[in-house]
Amino acid sequence: MTMADRLQKVMAAAGIASRRASEVLISAGRVTINGRVAELGDRVDPDVDVVEVDGDRVIVDTTLHYLMLNKPRGVVSTTHDPEGRPTVMDLVNLEERLYPVGRLDQDTEGLLLLTNDGELANRLLHPSFEVERTYLALVPGPVRRETLRRLTEGVELDDGLARPRRVRVAEEHRGKALLEVVMTEGRKHEVRRMLAAVGAPVERLARVAFGGVELGDLRQGKWRFLDRPEIAKLHAAAGTSVPATARTSDTDTEATS
């Protein structure tokens, strides 16, 4: 949340009522800011201003949460799907409103970060920060040297050049190859389109690292809070420092779902 937010947004974040219902409370004169009756359009800083509804203090939890999910195939990366498909939020049983840091395709599996630290999320996704994302792509094998060379030089796609920072064959076995591809941006279907363009159509795609944070052995469909070094890595990648209100897996050992 920014320093000064609309009063109804702060009230909604504190779980008082929906934004709309909070506006009704404000209009009815039931809300005060630092002892003065609030008006529609007022902004408050929840860390500084005292907001009361009918004389009861409104407490806003400004804790920042950072977690990783191992997204299975078939689950969409949005918080709500109008078509009713399972979303990543169905897998994260937390009260807090968290948002995925970017998206993975419905059929892509692996590391998805979720946070309510909007500033960090925006920076991590902005192409200018060139945050590394590592993917493992299962493709038909063997992969020719020429194919790797074309990838390293960059592949012209409809929306511009796609160029991995690094690419290598991690494994090759029985007509299949596992390519490790490191990208520094996240255009829609970029890895699939890029590999298809060099004759290596993706059969399975998984993200295994983002901004130096690794998926490790987290099981599919499970999530966990990031620890302090992981949160620090993300902030370093985004050029920011870890906020004092960050909750880490070291400060809370709550079991994951």
User: Which residues would be at the binding site for ligand URA (CB under 6 A)?
Assistant: 104-105, 108, 189-192, 205
Comparing CB distances to ligand URA, the nearer of 30 and 192 is 192
Backbone angles phi, psi at 139, to 5 degrees: -135, 165
Comparing CB distances to ligand URA, the nearer of 49 and 105 is 105
Q: Which of 45, 81, 105, 227 is catalytic?
A: 105
Identify which of 74, 65, 67 has the alpha carbon closest to the alpha carbon of residue 257: 67
> Min. distance of Cβ 104 from ligand URA in angstroms?
4
Q: What is the CA radius of gyration of the chain?
A: 22
Active site residue 105: yes
> Min. distance of Cβ 189 from ligand URA in angstroms?
4
Distance CA 38, CA 53 (A): 10
> Is the CB of residue 51 less than 8 Å from the CB of residue 58?
yes
Comparing CB distances to ligand URA, the nearer of 58 and 205 is 205
The residues facing 134 across adjacent strands are: 182, 209
Comparing CB distances to ligand URA, the nearer of 16 and 124 is 124
> Is the CB of residue 131 less than 8 Å from the CB of residue 122?
no
Identify which of 155, 157, 175, 176 has the alpha carbon closest to the alpha carbon of residue 167: 155
Comparing CB distances to ligand URA, the nearer of 97 and 189 is 189
Identify which of 200, 206, 106 has the alpha carbon closest to the alpha carbon of residue 155: 200
240: Cβ–Cβ under 8 A, 6 or more apart, which residues?
A: 119, 120, 123
The verdict on whether omega for the bond into residue 127 sits within 30 degrees of 0, i.e. cis, is no
> Min. distance of Cβ 200 from ligand URA in angstroms?
12
Length of the chain: 257
Report DSSP state, residue 142.
P
> Min. distance of Cβ 226 from ligand URA in angstroms?
20
> Min. distance of Cβ 206 from ligand URA in angstroms?
9
Comparing CB distances to ligand URA, the nearer of 89 and 137 is 137
> Min. distance of Cβ 214 from ligand URA in angstroms?
16
- What the block records as the tokens of 140 is 């038909």
Positions annotated as catalytic residues are 105
